[in-house]
Amino acid sequence: MTQLDLPPFLRDRVLPAEEALERTVRSGTRLASGFATSEPHSFYAALWDHVRDRDLTDLTITQALFLHPHPLLVGRVMEIRREIEEAREALGSSVLAQLRRKVDGALGKVEAMNALVEHYEELRERRIHFVSGFLGPAMNTILPENLLVQALHNEWAGRNVARSSIVSVQGVHFPDAPDAMILGADKVLDIDLFVLVMTPPNEEGLLSHGPANGANAEALEHCLGGDANVLLYLNRRYPFVRGHEESPNTIAAEAFRRAAGEGRLFVVDDDGPIPALPEGAFDHPSDAERVIAEHVVNHVETQPGLTHGRALQVGIGSTGALAVKALRDSS
């Protein structure tokens, strides 16, 4: 990877990823990060190993929506699933192989369940606590109340992380979310560390939050002007998106000068993936999703005098994606 082209005050703060974690995440750290497509993937991908290697405890992590099932969230579950799938694919197509697949599948579910419970128990023992405004699939696995779970892990039957003192669900009005993530009741910074991913500076000296800023812009402004540490991953894969004039998606590199000078800024040259839904996630929508998307398009098309220039906000999911695709082919 070629060296990042950064102003000297930023270049002096660049560290290897492992050292950046070592200097910013210790026992007792309260950290926050942007959510969804603003999730700092490389940070969370490495965090659980860092926690266990350094035997860290008492972490509070505010993150409103994880897109990826990182080891921090589910332990070895995804690794176990991959191993089972690879073994099943190698079995061939004989009757015996088909029977073996069924057996392996059943045993794999038990192994994954045991691994998930062990992970949840370790999170509790280490007092690692999440604060989240949304519970996406990566944090909302519910252990079913069936006989197997009751026999092996009765305490966990019917529970997920929100019902196990691991996650506190943060209910706020969406416009208040950025402040709620990082400020206390007295409106003063209540975190030690803010973690985010941005593009490197362009020729204008501007950094972009990429596909969306996920509450990063407001939170970053508070942290740069306050006393929290900032762990900044600069990723050249991220698209440079400017945003709107009244809601910019960029910030000048100069805005980081004070935090850099005070030793509160830590920069990592990042080549991790952009958080995204799996490829093909929208390929097989349900009939209900298709109908809702059609209603959206009909509503936009049939409002006299209001169609041209309207703004449409869509979330993460098939319905919004279908509506946008249909509008592209509409009048």
For residue 89, pLDDT over 70 is answered with no
Residue 230 is predicted with a pLDDT of: 97
The closest alpha carbon to 191, from 181, 178, 199, 206, belongs to: 181
CB count within 10 Å of CB 28 equals 12
Return the DSSP state at 175.
G
What pTM was computed for the model?
0.83
Nearest residue to 234 via CA among 198, 201, 207: 198
pLDDT at 103 over 50: no
Q: Is the pLDDT of residue 56 over 60?
A: yes
Which residues, including other chains, have CB under 8 Å from residue 7's CB and lie 6 or more apart? 201, 205, 253
List, by residue range, all CATH 3.40.1080.10 domains of the chain.
8-270
Q: Which residue has the higher pLDDT, 179 or 98?
A: 179
Q: Which fold has domain 8-270?
A: Glutaconate Coenzyme A-transferase (3.40.1080)
* Helices 41-53, 17-24: inter-axial angle, 10-degree rounding: 60
Does 250 have pLDDT greater than 90? yes
Neighbours of 40 (CB within 10 A): 25
Helix (H, G, I), strand (E, B) or coil at 276: coil
What tokens does 236 get?
A: 């050249």
pLDDT bin (cut points 50, 70, 90) of residue 104 is very low
